[in-house]
Amino acid sequence: MSAMTNPFPQAPTIWSLPDRGKVAMAGLIIAESAIFTIFVVAYLFYLGKSLTGPTPREVLSTPIFYTICLLSSSLTIHFAVKSLRRDRVVLFLGSWLLTITLGALFLYGTGKEWHRLIYEHGLTISTNLFGTTYYSLVGLHAFHVTAGLGMLLIVALFTLAGRVGVEQSRRVAVLSMYWHFVDAVWVVVFTVVYVLGR
């Protein structure tokens, strides 16, 4: 209809562009990575520079079980998205709820660790440089887990209400990208705080 198109040769037969949800989530992940990088740099820079105790070596214990929980939730969410793509909603819901449980377990583990540090060792965010950098780095990650859990819960509620089907699988896949990112960040935080930092 438009004369606009007339002088042009013709529209290309195949014209496919990337999915905007995935591109945007990739952008968000890049931005978030930069934020985490700065906090990791601060943590490494201040290692061993606290003027008073306690030190990481004295008080930290490696949270192996909760780490396994969080990392395996990446597998369950991957499986959930795969199931939704094949329109198997019950299987999707099951593995989705499992993901939420594993994420919540991890948060519980962080809470328990903090409780122990605060009440047994008297380490708070204002105690020394270790406290400041530890709570802000681990706390920033825990905040991201919480935000992710919130979004996962919303999807779970919609699923229970019967509103999620195969047509939502692309959006759910975008959300799962975020969850994978949160897990990947934990690998870095775990390495820095519990392996290198002790």
Q: Which residues bind another protein (CB under 8 A)?
A: 1-5, 7-12, 15, 17-20, 23-24, 27-28, 30-32, 34-35, 37-39, 42, 45-46, 49-51, 125-126, 128-129, 132-133, 136, 140
Judged by CB, which is closer to another protein: 93, or 193? 193
CB of 140: closest distance to another protein in angstroms? 8
CA distance 123 to 121: 5
CB of 4: closest distance to another protein in angstroms? 5
Give me Rg for the CA atoms of the chain: 22
Using left for φ > 0, alpha for ψ between -120 and 50, and beta otherwise, residue 132 falls in alpha
Cα–Cα distances in angstroms (integers) from residue 170 to residues 82, 93, 112, 155, in the given order: 10, 16, 36, 13
Judged by CB, which is closer to another protein: 136, or 168? 136
Judged by CB, which is closer to another protein: 45, or 108? 45
Using left for φ > 0, alpha for ψ between -120 and 50, and beta otherwise, residue 2 falls in beta
CB of 96: closest distance to another protein in angstroms? 25
CB of 163: closest distance to another protein in angstroms? 20
CB of 21: closest distance to another protein in angstroms? 8
Q: For 58, which DSSP code? A: H
CA 22 to chain centre: 16
Judged by CB, which is closer to another protein: 68, or 154? 154
CB distance 93 to 172 below 8 Å: no
Judged by CB, which is closer to another protein: 52, or 61? 52
